[in-house]
Amino acid sequence: MADVLTDTAPDTAAAVPEYPMQRDARCPLAPPPAVHGLRDGKPLSKVRIWNGSTPWLITRHADQRALLTDPRVSDDDLEPGFPYVNAHRAEIAPHTPRMITNTDAPEHTRLRRTVNAPFLVKRIEAMRAPVQKIVDELIDDMLAGPNPADLLTALALPVPSLVIAELLGVPYEDHDFFQRNSSIALDSAASPQEAREASGALAAYLDKLIGLKLENPGEGVLSEMAGRVNSGEMTRTEAVHMGVAMLIAGHETTATMISLGTLALLQNPGQLALVRDTDDPKVIAGAVDELLRYLTIVQTGVRRVAKEDIELGGVTIRAGEGMIFDLHAANWDPEAFPEADRLDITRSARQHQGFGYGPHQCLGQNLARLELQVVYGTLYRRIPTLRLAAPVEQLAFDRTGTTYGVACLPVAW
Amino acid sequence: MKVELDEPKCVASGQCVVAAPDVFDQRDDDGVAILLEEHPGAELVDDVREAVAVCPAAAIRLVER
């Protein structure tokens, strides 16, 4: 303890709060309390991140909407001053090909249009029956298995794995391999070496599959991307990186929304009853958006850098200064969502920023909504006695990963 | 009521189609929004306002007269 105290930074550093901030263990689903203070005080303030730099923290819903659609705000992580999430991201940035996650318009627009087709609203809607079948079968297995069970392993993790495998056209027998490697690649506790190896293993596997699809096109996104490689629209390397990105982006996030969404509903029995007892798909769709707002599981903030000076609310963000958009703060902004700390599935939450905002808003949001609509619309109806099998205080929350979630959610029925 | 779509800005998120399916569709090959109805009836104004609000690229404008 004494060692820790003597290592404390000088007083001058104390004025700028550290980011990410600490949550209150008594309110595990709420954003860190200090974030509210920043949002409701000065319009913009600075925070200190892992490398000692002090980017701006953007917390208000309206400010985020304005800045995230501003062409002077860049997602190019090779721009000087970019506020990387961690050392690993900083280290890999110069070696990462240009893709939708690190480019600006017009390059971003071109790249995004090459990967959008599988996520068309009508194509996602056509997946509703297959997704329902996946969910029904997993719940069948869960009910036939031990009680209590871990909701993560029984349902939350396999649903997105199976759905992404179906979307990409990946054989099911490689499911375990995918789950293991995408978890490591995302785990901020993993060493840069481990994360690199996991991403590398996924990339090598997808490259092999795309190679097969180049010769024998079949169903799924990988076949479509192979077609675009054949026509010269994208390179094989771009296709592989997109495949890995889709897999990683859609897996843990959706799993977390299934588990934490269930936890939030179990803690709010009135809201759970509304979800369980309805036949109206609009009620379920509203519950999905409200849970996306309330939980805002991406906890590292959206990272950007200013390419030119930007005036906002009497403050000037200088060219070359980093910006962090805290999505949870914006989604709990009372100016946008009255009584934002209350879970209310009947409110109009459609303008939440749980998927981010601006041209980089989550590519897979339509698929994520579909998966969550099917799970929330099925699980509590089929298992109306579902309950937590461990006290909330004993759940291990991941406070450091990209997404805030639990490693295990024991449930009984 | 007139709807304007700034197509070069469109990132094909499809949120306009979810909000106002009678007014917007998406191109099959890249998902870019298609304006089905430049002058939608008054009964669609709420849907269009929602589409404007949820478009992540701020690519839709509603001109009310």
Q: Domains of chain A by range and CATH?
A: 2-412 (1.10.630.10)
Tell me if B30 and A119 make a contact (CB, 8 A cut-off): no
Each residue's pLDDT tens digit, A240-249: 888 888 877 8
- Residue A3 is predicted with a pLDDT of 43
Tens of pLDDT, residues A221-268:
888 889 989 999 888 988 888 888 887 788 889 999 999 999 999 999
| Strand ranges inside A226-380, DSSP E | 302-306, 310-312, 315-317, 322-325
The structure tokens listed for A92 are 């890999």
Instruction: Provide, as residue numbers in chain B, all residues whose Cβ is less than 8 Å from the Cβ of A121.
Output: 14, 17-18, 26
pLDDT for res A73: 98
What angle (nearest 5°) sits at the alpha carbon of residue B55, between those of residues A295 and A109? Answer: 105
Q: Which residues of B are less than 8 Å from A234 in CB distance?
A: none
Q: Does domain B2-63 have CATH number 3.40.109.10?
A: no
Identify from A116, A123, A365 which residue to disrupt to test chain B contact, counting B C-beta atoms within 10 A and taking the largest count. Answer: A116
pLDDT of residue A189: 67
A263 touches A29 (CB < 8 A): yes
Given a contact cutoff of 8 angstroms between Cβ atoms, the answer to whether A245 and A101 are in contact is: yes
CA distances in angstroms from B19 to A7, A68, A115, A339, B32, listed in the order given: 54, 21, 22, 25, 15
Residues from chain A that touch B56, judged by Cβ atoms under 8 A, are: 69, 356-361
Minimum distance, in Å, between the CA of residue B31 and any CA atom of chain A: 5
User: Which of B15, B30, B57 is facing A116, going by the closest CB pair?
Assistant: B30
Instruction: Provide the pLDDT for residue A14.
Output: 54
| pLDDT score at A43 | 74
Phi-psi region of A81 (alpha: psi -120 to 50; beta: other; left: phi over 0): left
Question: Which of A14-18, A310-314, B13-17 tops mean pLDDT?
Answer: B13-17
Tell me whether A351 touches chain B (CB under 8 Å): yes
pLDDT digits (tens, 9 = 90+) for A97-147: 888 999 999 999 988 888 888 999 999 999 999 999 999 999 999 999 999
Q: Where are the domains of chain B?
A: 2-63
Total count of residues recorded for chain B = 65
